[in-house]
């Protein structure tokens, strides 16, 4: 079981070591109000944004959605249905965090979004893929109180972090 | 310094050294210089190398025979244990011959040539390199046996006319036929074609004779002691009839009487097979009608009168000259001469690739696809490259299997000769790209190296298994003495006139010879670089041809079986291919209709369509598909995402605005025949409606009372700023600057820009 962001960081650090990468710095973003989020930088110019969450966010049933939010609800459910691979929840991070990762990619880092669930399941994808998906399918939402947009992707769209993946190449045409 | 040649044969092995003006056989082990290649084990289980079982009657526990033939066969299998065992036997035998030679020689050996059958693939050649390393042979090259024999027989002065040689090398285990060409005025040898059979040798004749005698005299063939049948076969070359006694393992002797006619009847089918191989080699060289003007024959079986008769008939048929002296040693003698030539440079000997070399690749779910990189029959030395990418998302290791063979239907059906594991940065499928360069050098070796394409950090490490990793040459050209250049000639003769692939390959081969670095050793590195540049051009040309071929056909789908077609799994590769076909109207109208339907089974098809459209800027078919789609905004966003060189934050605002453009307007943008994708970047914000909070439907941008002050070009904003702080920051970003909160003034400061209510609230 993974109980909190610190344990999630430890989990991810070990997984990165298993893949032959060394973590050189860890930035816990809780102090900036981004609870459950941290950034790990490796010796090979990579940034892994790790988010700890107990489980994904499951959108409400459609009949409980207010009329103003119906359009967003439809978009979220379309994304889940088309790309969720049978998993019906969403996961994501604040808009400013993903934009930060994009800006770091412009600076030569390769950035990944990683989420660690309480049962230890680790899912990940490249930060730019994450961002492009969100923008493409408009899977943003804002919580009325904070007014901070959150970028969401279907949990099943993220790739499971398993053993190092070995495969044959594809030939470029 | 000595140059030597070693002919490790199936039956016997020979070492020859170059003596300054001619080659000489090393006779320090046996009088004739022939050392049995077989290895015997004594009763104590130890390998005995210095006793010739041919001549000795010592008790032995085991005789390992036909080692070379077995190693050649096993080299194409995955039986590593057997391969290593056989290699250890060869190491023992070659080491014995070599160290015996150097212990009797005062000079050090500087160059060694090992020979191998021409019809042998890279796998056996790599085994020979490994054996040479274990023995401690210095500076080894591997040369085809027929080529070495040709050097012994035919290499004198420069050719006075164009010459065509046929070399028939019929050994104890293999038959090889090489067609070799020399051009008037040149000393160089160019192998034009090769053909052979690695299971057609003198030992097969011995087996036929042993079986015949066993049937005739009522004993079990396997009971016959080694070399007994061979002994009788040899006698029948000199005698019409032989009476002898054969020794059996079970004890005792069997008296026999056999005639040469009986033997010739037995081997006649083998001579027929030889004739077929000769015909094949002539056809491959396109010499069927003109034939060779010289036939060089070597190997033990050519001492048999029936084989000799066949050779004379062949020679008469073409009016050729027959060279068949030194049949048991000519390969080693030629190899020694070639070793010296290679040591000092000047002569060029090119040969042919006997088996194609390729790699295993994945195409969709099929991971057993064989892609040939170097084709059989290509001229050696050769260097080819292929561009590869990761085949699955977040792939850590790209396993590159280098295989040898010509079975194009399955990679596994070809022999694996080496593997490279490329450790890469995990990334999206297809994002990590690299170029694999494979080369077969003229010393007989194979090299491979990987170079990353794009981000150099994406390739972390390359782990070679059974392969020498190539190193980048860093030599620089000092001068160019020749008037021509392979690169410019290739451009003129191939690229500028769009030559067809066959013509291109011929021109490429000719230029490889014309500009071979050995022709000008003083500028070796310069010509190596120029030829590498030509290799790259040729590889690019081949890729273009392949691309054109692929891009002009519909995908290979079961078009006539509707059930199968409808249930076909559509992956990203196929989706891209179908998009290409739709955009370019490839296929029948019926196929295009089916492709449109199938394409939509891929969930992210809108991204594929829009990305392709971005590449070609305008296309009625794709624009209509996107405009009429149930989610036209997706296509619009993808187009906007593809526009290059936009600041991240600014683009982010534009992308968000895209979803506030009314759907009808988006369809109008996308279906516009005069679509200008770059202009969408400005059109979208100006057509976007006001933002609302998607959770509660309230306007996302609240309007509050703000006070503006302008100082030294900066904007100072005070008032009820907290509820609209994001809007202030966004307005600053849209004007290309940033907003910061001044806690002293309790105001937002926007540097260098004049910001108004309109910028913030629209």
CATH number for position B444: 2.60.34.10
- Say if residue B313 is in the same domain as residue B277: yes
Give the pLDDT confidence of B11-68 residue by residue, as tens digits.
999 999 999 889 999 998 888 899 999 988 877 778 877 766 555 555 667 888 899 9
For position B473, what pLDDT does the model report? 32
Question: In this structure, how many other beta carbons lie within 10 angstroms of the beta carbon of residue B102?
Answer: 14
Are B80 and B107 within 8 A, CB to CB? no
> Would the pLDDT of B533 be above 70?
yes
Q: Which domain holds residue B741?
A: 706-761
Q: Is residue A46 less than 8 Å (CB to CB) from chain B?
A: yes
Show which of B350, B368, B399 is a domain's final residue: B350
Residue B5 confidence class, pLDDT cut points 50, 70, 90: very high
> Would the pLDDT of A138 be above 80?
yes
- Chain A residues with CB inside 8 Å of B603's CB? 82-83
Pairing between β-strand B294-298 and β-strand B321-323 as defined by DSSP bridges = parallel
Among the listed residues B137, B144, B510, the one whose alpha carbon sits nearest the alpha carbon of residue B296: B144
For position B295, what pLDDT does the model report? 95
> Would the pLDDT of B311 be above 50?
yes
- Say if residue B344 is in the same domain as residue B377: no
How far is Cα B466 from Cα B123, in angstroms, rounded to an integer?
A: 10
Give the pLDDT confidence of B158-182 residue by residue, as tens digits.
777 889 999 999 999 999 999 999 8
Residue B597 confidence class, pLDDT cut points 50, 70, 90: very high
How far is Cα B243 from Cα B217, in angstroms, rounded to an integer?
A: 13
Contact A159 B361 (CB under 8 A): no
Contact B391 A147 (CB under 8 A): no
Are B158 and B186 within 8 A, CB to CB? yes
Show which of B534, B551, B568 is a domain's final residue: B551
Ramachandran region, residue A83 (left: φ > 0; alpha: ψ -120 to 50; beta: rest): alpha
- Chain B residues with CB inside 8 Å of A125's CB? 393-394
> Would the pLDDT of A144 be above 60?
no
Q: Is residue A83 less than 8 Å (CB to CB) from chain B?
A: yes
- As a three-state string, the secondary structure of B357-420 is EEEEEEECCEEEEEEEEECCCCEECEEEEEEEEECCCCCCEEEEEEEECCCCCCCCCCEEEEEE
- Say if residue B79 is in the same domain as residue B46: yes
How far is Cα B42 from Cα B63, in angstroms, rounded to an integer?
A: 9
The residue in chain B having the minimum alpha-carbon distance to the alpha carbon of residue A83 is: B603
How far is Cα B437 from Cα B538, in angstroms, rounded to an integer?
A: 13
- Say if residue B433 is in the same domain as residue B547: no
Residue B333 confidence class, pLDDT cut points 50, 70, 90: very high
How far is Cα B14 from Cα B262, in angstroms, rounded to an integer?
A: 31
Decide if B290 is inside a domain: yes
- CA A128, chain centre distance (Å): 11
Decide if B478 is inside a domain: no
Among B169-183, B505-519, B645-659, the range scoring the smallest mean pLDDT is B505-519
Contact A103 B648 (CB under 8 A): yes
Among the listed residues B649, B555, B144, the one whose alpha carbon sits nearest the alpha carbon of residue A99: B649
Chain A residues 106-145 with a CB less than 8 Å from chain B: 106, 110, 112, 124-126, 129, 132, 135-138, 140-144
Decide if B679 is inside a domain: no
What is the domain count for chain B? 4
For position B483, what pLDDT does the model report? 47
Residue B562 confidence class, pLDDT cut points 50, 70, 90: confident
Decide if B85 is inside a domain: yes
The CA distances from residue A61 to A58, A80, B698, in Å, are 9, 13, 21
DSSP at B737? S
For position B502, what pLDDT does the model report? 73
**ipTM of the complex, rounded to two decimals:** 0.91
Contact A68 B423 (CB under 8 A): no
- Chain A residues with CB inside 8 Å of B362's CB? 167-170
Are B559 and B565 within 8 A, CB to CB? yes
DSSP at B452? E
* Greater model confidence, B20 or B669: B669
- Say if residue B358 is in the same domain as residue B345: no
- Say if residue B189 is in the same domain as residue B85: yes
- Chain B residues with CB inside 8 Å of A140's CB? 656, 694
pTM for this one?
Answer: 0.68
The stretch B253-263 carries a mean pLDDT of 94
Among B65-69, B224-228, B426-430, the range scoring the smallest mean pLDDT is B426-430
Ramachandran region, residue B729 (left: φ > 0; alpha: ψ -120 to 50; beta: rest): alpha
Decide if B387 is inside a domain: yes
In chain A, where the domains are located: 5-160
- Say if residue B192 is in the same domain as residue B305: yes
- Say if residue B498 is in the same domain as residue B393: no
Contact A68 B371 (CB under 8 A): no
> Would the pLDDT of B301 be above 90?
yes
- Say if residue B339 is in the same domain as residue B459: no
- Neighbouring-strand partners of residue B13: B8, B35
- Say if residue B183 is in the same domain as residue B290: yes
- Name the range with the highest mean pLDDT among A140-154, B537-551, B616-630: B616-630
For position A142, what pLDDT does the model report? 66
How far is Cα B38 from Cα B63, in angstroms, rounded to an integer?
A: 7
User: What does the mean pLDDT of chain A come to?
Assistant: 88
Q: Which helix (H) or strand (E) holds B170?
A: strand B163-170
- Chain A residues with CB inside 8 Å of B398's CB? 167-169
How large a percentage of chain A has pLDDT more than 90?
Answer: 58
> Would the pLDDT of B613 be above 90?
yes
For position B428, what pLDDT does the model report? 81
Q: Sign of the C-alpha dihedral, residues A127, A131, A134, A137?
A: negative
At residue B315, what are phi and psi to the nearest 5 degrees?
A: -65, -45
> Would the pLDDT of B480 be above 80?
no
For position B488, what pLDDT does the model report? 86
DSSP at B33? S
Quick one: fold of A5-160?
Answer: Trna Endonuclease; Chain: A, domain 1 (3.40.1350)
- Say if residue B322 is in the same domain as residue B374: no
| Cβ pairs A/B, distance under 8 A | 149
Decide if B580 is inside a domain: no
Which residue of B634, B694, B698, B739 is the best one to mutate when testing the A interface, meaning the one whose CB has the most A CBs within 10 A?
A: B694
Contact A99 B695 (CB under 8 A): no
- Element counts in chain B: helices (H) and strands (E): 23, 31
Pairing between β-strand B189-197 and β-strand B349-352 as defined by DSSP bridges = parallel
Are B398 and B433 within 8 A, CB to CB? no
The residue in chain A having the minimum alpha-carbon distance to the alpha carbon of residue B400 is: A168
Among A136-150, B265-279, B304-318, B659-673, the range scoring the smallest mean pLDDT is A136-150
For position B393, what pLDDT does the model report? 84
The stretch B222-235 carries a mean pLDDT of 91
What is the secondary structure of B738-760 as a DSSP string?
-EEEETTTTEEEETT----HHHH
The stretch A66-92 carries a mean pLDDT of 90
DSSP at B699? B
- Chain A residues with CB inside 8 Å of B570's CB? none
């Amino acid at each position: 079981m993974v109980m909190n962001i610190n344990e999630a960081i430890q989990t991810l650090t070990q997984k990165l070591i298993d893949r032959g990468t060394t973590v050189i710095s860890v930035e816990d973003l809780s102090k900036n109000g981004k609870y459950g989020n941290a950034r790990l930088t490796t010796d090979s110019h990579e940034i892994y944004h790790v988010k700890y969450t107990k489980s994904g966010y499951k959108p409400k049933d459609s009949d409980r959605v207010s009329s103003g939010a119906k359009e967003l609800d439809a978009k979220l459910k379309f994304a889940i249905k088309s790309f969720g691979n049978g998993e019906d929840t969403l996961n994501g991070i604040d808009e400013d965090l993903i934009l930060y990762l994009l800006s770091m990619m412009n600076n030569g880092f390769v950035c990944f979004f990683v989420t660690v669930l309480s049962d230890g399941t680790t899912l990940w994808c490249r930060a730019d893929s994450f961002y492009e998906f969100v923008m493409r399918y408009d899977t943003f939402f804002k919580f009325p109180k904070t007014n901070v947009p959150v970028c969401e992707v279907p949990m099943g769209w993220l790739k499971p972090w398993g053993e190092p993946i070995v495969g044959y190449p594809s030939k470029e045409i | 310094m000595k140059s030597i040649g070693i002919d490790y044969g199936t039956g016997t092995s020979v070492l020859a050294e170059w003596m300054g003006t001619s080659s000489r056989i090393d006779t320090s082990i046996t009088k004739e210089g022939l050392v049995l290649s077989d290895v015997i084990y004594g009763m104590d289980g130890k390998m005995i190398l210095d006793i010739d079982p041919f001549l000795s009657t010592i008790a032995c526990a085991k005789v390992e025979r036909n080692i070379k033939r077995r190693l050649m066969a096993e080299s194409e299998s995955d039986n590593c244990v057997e391969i290593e065992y056989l290699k250890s036997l060869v190491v023992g035998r070659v080491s014995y011959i070599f160290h015996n030679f150097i212990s009797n020689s005062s000079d050090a050996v500087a160059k060694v040539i090992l020979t191998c059958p021409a019809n042998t693939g890279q796998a056996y050649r790599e085994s020979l390199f490994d054996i040479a390393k274990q023995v401690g042979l210095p500076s080894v090259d591997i040369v085809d046996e027929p080529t070495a024999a040709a050097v012994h027989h035919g290499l004198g002065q420069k050719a006075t006319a164009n010459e065509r040689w046929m070399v028939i090398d019929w050994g104890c285990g293999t038959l090889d036929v090489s067609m070799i060409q020399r051009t008037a005025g040149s000393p160089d040898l160019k192998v034009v074609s090769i053909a052979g059979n690695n299971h057609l040798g003198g030992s097969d004749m011995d087996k036929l004779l042993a079986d015949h005698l066993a049937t005739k005299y009522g004993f079990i063939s396997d009971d016959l002691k080694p070399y007994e049948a061979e002994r009788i076969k040899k006698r029948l070359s000199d005698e019409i009839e032989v009476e002898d006694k054969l020794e059996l393992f079970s004890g005792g002797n069997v008296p026999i009487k056999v005639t040469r006619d009986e033997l010739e009847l037995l081997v006649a089918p083998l001579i027929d097979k030889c004739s077929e191989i000769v015909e094949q080699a002539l056809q491959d060289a396109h010499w069927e009608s003109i034939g060779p003007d010289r036939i060089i024959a070597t190997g033990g079986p050519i001492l048999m009168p029936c084989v000799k008769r066949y050779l004379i008939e062949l020679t008469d048929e073409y009016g050729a000259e027959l060279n068949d002296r030194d049949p048991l040693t000519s390969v080693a003698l030629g190899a020694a001469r070639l070793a010296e030539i290679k040591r000092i440079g000047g002569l060029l000997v090119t040969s042919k690739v006997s088996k194609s070399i390729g790699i295993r690749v994945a195409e969709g779910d099929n991971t057993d696809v064989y892609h040939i990189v170097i084709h059989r029959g290509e001229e050696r030395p050769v260097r080819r490259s292929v561009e590869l990418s990761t085949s699955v998302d977040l792939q850590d290791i790209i396993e590159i299997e280098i295989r040898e063979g010509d079975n194009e239907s399955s990679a596994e059906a070809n022999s694996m000769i080496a593997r490279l594991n490329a450790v890469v940065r995990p990334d999206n499928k297809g994002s990590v790209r690299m170029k694999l360069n494979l080369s077969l050098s003229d010393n007989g070796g194979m090299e491979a190296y990987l170079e990353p394409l794009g981000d150099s950090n994406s390739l972390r490490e390359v782990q070679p298994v059974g392969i020498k990793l190539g190193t980048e040459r860093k030599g620089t050209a000092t001068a160019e003495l020749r008037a021509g250049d392979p690169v410019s000639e290739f451009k003129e003769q191939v690229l500028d006139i769009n030559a067809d692939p066959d013509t291109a390959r011929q021109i490429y081969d000719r230029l490889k010879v014309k500009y071979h670095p050995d022709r000008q050793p003083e500028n070796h590195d310069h010509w190596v670089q120029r030829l590498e540049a030509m290799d790259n051009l040729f590889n690019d040309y081949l890729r273009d041809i392949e691309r054109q071929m692929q891009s002009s056909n519909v995908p290979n789908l079961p078009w006539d079986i509707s059930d199968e077609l409808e249930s076909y799994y559509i992956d990203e590769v196929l989706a891209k291919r179908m998009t290409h076909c739709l955009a370019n109207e490839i296929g029948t109208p019926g196929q295009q209709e089916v492709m449109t339907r199938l394409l939509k089974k891929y969930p992210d098809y809108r991204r594929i369509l829009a990305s392709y459209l971005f590449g070609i800027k305008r296309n009625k078919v794709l624009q209509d598909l996107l405009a009429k789609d149930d989610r036209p905004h997706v296509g619009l966003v993808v187009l906007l995402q593809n526009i290059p060189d936009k600041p991240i934050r600014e683009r982010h605002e534009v992308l968000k605005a895209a979803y506030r453009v009314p759907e009808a307007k988006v369809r109008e943008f996308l279906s516009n025949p005069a679509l200008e994708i770059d202009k969408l970047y400005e059109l979208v914000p100006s057509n976007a409606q006001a933002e609302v909070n998607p959770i509660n439907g309230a306007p996302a941008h609240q309007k509050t009372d703000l006070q503006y002050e302008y100082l030294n070009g900066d904007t100072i904003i005070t008032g009820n700023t907290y509820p609209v702080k994001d809007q202030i920051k966004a307005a600053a970003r849209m004007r290309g600057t940033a907003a910061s909160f001044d806690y002293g003034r309790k105001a937002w400061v926007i540097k260098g820009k004049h910001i108004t209510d309109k910028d913030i609230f629209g």
